[in-house]
Every structure is written in C-alpha cells, then in structure tokens.
C-alpha cells in the first residue's frame, strides 16, 4: 500500500507528464487552424472601447491562439480516468491506491472542472470567429448559476452541509442559505477569471491557490481531494511551461471557467465537510483574485459615481502595465505574492484544525 503522500504526488507528476505530452499536438492544431482572435481589442466593463488596454495588448491578441486551458483540465481528465482505468484492469494494491476517482471527494469537483471547461471552450470557439463575439456574458452567468445551484442543493440536501466554519470559533449555522452562499461564491470566483490577461500570470496564481488547498485537504485526510487538486497543479505546471513569456497560447475562458468553478467546489469541500475552514481562508489564499475583482468593482463604481477612473486600466495588473511595468515583471511579482498568500492561508487553516 502506498503512502498518502505518494498517492498525491504521483497524480500531480502524471498530470504534468500528460500535459507536456499533449501540448505539442494541441498547439499544432491551434496554429494550423489560426485559433486566435480575428478582431483584436475589447470593450471595457462600461461598454466603451478599452483604449488603454487595446494600446497595450491589441497587437498581441493575434500573436498566439486561445484555448490553452485545454492543457490543464484535459490533462487532469486523462490522468484521473487513466488511473481509474488501471485500477479497474489490474486491481492490485498500487493501482488501487493511485485511483483518486471517488464519489464522495472527486466526482463533484471533476464535474465542475469539465462543465466549466466545455462552456469556456464554446465561448473561445465563438470568439475566434471573424466577428470576434463569444458567448454573451449573461449566458455564461446562467451556466455558472445553474451549475452552482445544483451543486449547492447537493451540498445541502445530500451531504448535509448547513454551516460555514469560522477559525477559532463556533460554526456559523446558515441552514438552506448554504445554497445561495455557494452560488455567490461561484459567481465571485468566476469573476476572478479576468486575472488571465498577461503571459504566465493566471497559471502561476491558480497554481499557488490549488497547491494550498491540496495541503489543506491532505491535512483533513481527504486524500482523493488532495490528489485531485495536486493533479490540477500538475496540469498548471505543464501549461506554464508553454505560457511563460512569450506565451505559446493563452489560457482563455476554457481554462478560467474550469478552474474557478472547480475551485468553488474545493473550497466548500475543505470547510465543514473536511472539518476545516476552507471558506474563511479563501480571501487570504486567493488574495490576488480578490484584489483583481475588487479593482474592477472600484473602477466601475468610481467612473459611475465620480466620473473618473482610479486606475489607468482595470484590473489592477493591467494598471501596472500601463504605468510602465513589463508584463513579465507583473506576472513574476504576482507569482511571489500568490505563494506568500498561500502560505499565510494554509498556516491559518492548519492552525484552526
């Protein structure tokens, strides 16, 4: 029988290898079919042309294809199904130990990862058309709303989740409000997907976040969930290998939708189900995601009520570009901060166990 540490590290390494193996095939297809935006540039959150963003990025949007997120969730799916298949074929102690596909820990986050990835993939396919129009935002929000509502009901009705744990205090009893709370959490994390905007940025940040929750799940003895989050880290490492400046492809919606929706499930599963504080530490572990969404909210609010902008460009990482920071410097400093936030969040989570 393999140790729990090995059961987590092997899927992570296997997913990295799978990701590295499938990427050349994927990139050949993406470049062959010119799967990048044919209509560069975008509008801001207020509907007007994002002139400052377009000045910084318009030329780059036709440099590399979209859909790089397929590397992440595709390699995770191949790994988890491959190890489950090996366990079914050979049924020995090693293959059985490495199989982390379980109903009580990985079915729901895997479903969220795949459904989010497919929805994002459809959006990317529409974006690369000559018109450049993807799925309308309201359609993507409906996808998130429906799926998160179903998962929220499952948590409440099937898994008897009705509290949110508070560090060093009694659990907060919210009853059926768990359902709308999970929906709001999913929508907030979905909004944080806008962190995908600079080569290597989103991959490094999400890698730190998922690694932190892998440690937390391991400490809670949710080994299959820890193996799942570790495999996501492995997929992100493979993605980053090809996404460091200059990026061979962009993560785009097929990656960010998959990761943010899966993360919402992982956060909830490391809370009362794991007798931990997974929800409470999210603002720390995902501090850069919070800052990213917050900078957008502040920008829109200031422009609406005060008629002026706070940042040159929102989200905040583009503001740093606008004031002269090279993209690689922004990305690497975000990587450093994301690791620091992950450490702080894990320390609090483990202290509260």
* HEC string for the chain: CCCHHHHHHHHHHHHHHHHHHHHHHHHHHHHHCCCCCCCCCCECCCCCECHHHHHHHCCHHHCCCCCCHHHHHHHHHHHHHHHHHHHHHHCCHHHHHHCCCCCCCCHHHHHHHHHHHHHHHHHHHHHCCCCCCCCCHHHHHHHHHHHHHHHHHHHHHHCCCCEECCCCCCCEECHHHHHHHHHHHHHHHHHHHHHCCCCCHHHHHHHHHHHHHHHHHHHCCCHHHHHHHHHHHHHHHHHHHHHCCCCCCCCHHHHHHHHHHHHHHHHHHCCHHHCCCCCCCHHHHCHHHHHHHHHHHHHHHHHHHCCCCCCCCCCHHHHHHHCCCCHHHHHHHHHHHHHHHHHHHHHHHHHCC
Instruction: Please state whether beta strands 163-164 and 172-173 pair in parallel, antiparallel, or not at all (unpaired).
Output: antiparallel
- The answer to whether residues 69 and 229 touch, using CB atoms and an 8 Å cutoff, is no
Mean pLDDT lowest among 11-20, 78-87, 104-113, 302-311: 302-311
Question: Residue 199, by phi and psi: left (phi above 0), alpha (psi -120 to 50) or beta?
Answer: beta
pLDDT, residue 244, reads: 86
Longest dimension (CA), the chain: 67
For residues 69 and 75, give the distance between their C-alpha atoms in angstroms, rounded to a whole number.
Answer: 10
For residues 14 and 83, the answer to whether their CB atoms sit within 8 Å is: yes
Higher-pLDDT residue of 131, 32: 32
Highest mean pLDDT among 119-133, 247-261, 333-347: 333-347
Total count of domains within the chain: 1
Produce one character per residue of 114-130: b if its CB has 16 or more CB atoms within 10 Å, e if not: bbbbebbbbbbeebbee
Band of residue 130 on the pLDDT scale cut at 50, 70, 90: confident
pLDDT tier at 92, thresholds 50, 70, 90: confident
For 290-334, write each residue's pLDDT tens digit: 999 999 999 989 988 888 889 988 899 989 998 989 989 999 999
Burial of residue 183 (number of CB atoms within 10 Å: 0-12, 13-18, 19+): buried
Per-residue pLDDT at 197: 82
* Cα 174 to Cα 162: distance, rounded to the nearest angstrom: 6
Enclosing domain of residue 147: 4-351
- Angle CA 135–137–139, to nearest 5: 65
Mean pLDDT over 70-97 rounds to 94
pLDDT at 42 (0 to 100): 63
Best CA proximity match to 71, nearest among 104, 29, 8: 29
pLDDT, tens digit, 9 for 90 and up, residues 205-264? 999 999 999 999 999 999 999 999 999 999 999 999 999 888 899 999 999 999 999 999
Q: What confidence category does residue 83 fall into, taking pLDDT thresholds of 50, 70 and 90?
A: very high
Mean pLDDT of the chain: 91
pTM attached to this predicted model: 0.95
Q: Bigger pLDDT: 122 or 353?
A: 122
308: phi > 0 → left, psi -120 to 50 → alpha, else beta; which?
beta
């Amino acid at each position: 029988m393999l140790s729990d540490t090995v059961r987590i590290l092997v899927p992570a390494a296997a997913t990295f290898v799978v990701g590295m193996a499938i990427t050349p095939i994927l990139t050949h297809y993406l470049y062959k079919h010119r799967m990048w935006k044919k209509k560069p540039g975008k509008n801001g959150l207020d509907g007007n042309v994002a002139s400052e963003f377009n000045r910084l990025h318009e030329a780059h949007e036709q440099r590399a294809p979209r859909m790089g997120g397929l590397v992440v969730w595709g390699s995770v799916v191949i790994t988890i199904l491959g190890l489950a298949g090996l366990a079914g074929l050979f049924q020995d102690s090693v293959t059985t130990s490495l199989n982390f596909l379980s109903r009580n820990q990985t079915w729901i986050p895997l479903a969220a990862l795949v459904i989010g990835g497919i929805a994002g993939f459809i959006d990317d396919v529409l974006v690369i058309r000559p018109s450049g129009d993807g799925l309308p935002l309201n359609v993507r929000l409906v996808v998130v709303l429906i799926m998160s509502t179903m998962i929220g009901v499952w948590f409440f009705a099937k898994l008897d989740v009705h509290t949110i744990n508070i560090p060093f205090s009694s659990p907060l009893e919210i009853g059926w409000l768990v359902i709308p709370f999970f929906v709001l959490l999913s929508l907030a994390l979905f909004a944080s997907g806008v962190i995908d905007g600079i080569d290597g940025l989103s991959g490094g940040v999400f890698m730190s976040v998922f690694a932190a929750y892998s440690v937390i799940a391991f400490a809670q003895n949710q080994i299959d969930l820890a193996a799942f989050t570790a495999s996501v880290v492995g997929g992100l490492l493979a993605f980053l290998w090809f996404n460091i400046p200059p990026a061979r492809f962009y993560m785009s919606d097929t990656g960010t939708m998959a990761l943010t929706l899966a993360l919402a499930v992982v956060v909830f599963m490391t809370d009362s189900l794991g007798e931990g504080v997974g929800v409470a530490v999210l603002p720390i572990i995902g501090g850069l995601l919070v800052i990213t969404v917050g900078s957008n909210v502040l920008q829109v609010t200031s422009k609406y009520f005060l008629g002026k902008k706070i940042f040159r460009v929102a989200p905040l990482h583009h503001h740093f570009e606008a004031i002269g920071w090279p993209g690689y410097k922004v990305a690497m400093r975000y990587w450093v901060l994301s690791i620091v936030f992950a450490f702080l969040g894990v320390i609090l989570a483990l202290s509260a166990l």
